[in-house]
C-alpha cells in the first residue's frame, strides 16, 4: 500500500501556511511535503509538525527566481554564493524538520 504525503505548499491554501500541517492531519495524512517553508520559523514549524504527529517527506532547497520563471540558482556560476546560502538555510531547517528527502530544483542552464 503506498504512503501518501500532502504537499502543504499547494494543498489547504484556504489556511495560512502555519495551519496547514493541522489541516493535513485532520484529512488523515501522516506525512507532508513543503516546497519553500522558509518564511516560517523552523522551531515553530517543527513544534506544529510534532503536535500533529507528522513527518516530512520532502523539503526543497530555495531556488532563487526559478519558481517565478527565472533561471534559478543552481546552474549559473554567478549564483554560486546564493546557492550555497540556500543550502545552508535548508540544512538549518532540515535539522529541525528531519525530512526524508531534500530536493534541489535544477533550474535552467
The pLDDT tens digits for 76-91 are 888 889 999 999 999 9
- Asked, for residue 20, whether it belongs to a domain, the answer is yes
Question: 105 falls in which pLDDT band (50, 70, 90)?
Answer: confident
Residue 62, domain member (yes or no): yes
Q: Residue 101 is placed in which grid cell?
A: 528527502
Computed over every residue of the chain, the mean pLDDT equals 91
The answer to pTM > 0.85 is: yes
Q: How many CB atoms lie within 10 A of CB 84?
A: 11
pLDDT at 65 over 90: no
Q: Residue holding cell 520563471?
A: 69
The three cell numbers of residue 65 are: 527566481
- Containing structural domain, residue 75: 6-103
Q: Is residue 108 part of a domain?
A: no
* Among 46, 28, 33, 40, CA closest to 96: 46
Domain count along the chain: 1
DSSP state for residue 75 in the 8-state scheme? S
Determine, yes or no, domain membership for 45. Answer: yes
Whole-angstrom distance, CA of residue 37 vs CA of residue 59: 8
Q: Is residue 1 part of a domain?
A: no
Domain with residue 92: its CATH number is 3.20.20.150
| pLDDT above 80: residue 29 | yes
Amino acid at each position: 500500500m503506498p504512503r501518501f504525503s500532502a504537499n502543504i505548499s499547494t494543498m489547504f491554501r484556504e489556511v495560512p501556511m502555519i495551519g496547514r500541517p493541522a489541516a493535513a492531519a485532520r484529512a488523515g495524512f501522516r506525512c507532508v511535503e513543503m516546497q519553500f517553508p522558509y518564511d516560517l520559523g523552523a522551531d515553530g514549524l517543527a513544534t506544529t509538525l510534532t503536535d500533529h504527529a507528522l513527518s516530512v517527506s520532502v523539503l526543497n532547497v530555495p531556488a532563487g527566481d526559478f519558481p517565478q520563471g527565472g533561471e534559478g540558482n543552481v546552474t549559473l556560476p554567478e549564483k554560486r554564493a546564493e546557492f550555497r546560502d540556500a543550502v545552508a538555510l535548508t540544512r538549518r531547517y532540515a535539522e529541525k524538520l528531519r525530512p526524508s528527502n531534500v530536493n534541489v530544483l535544477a533550474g535552467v542552464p
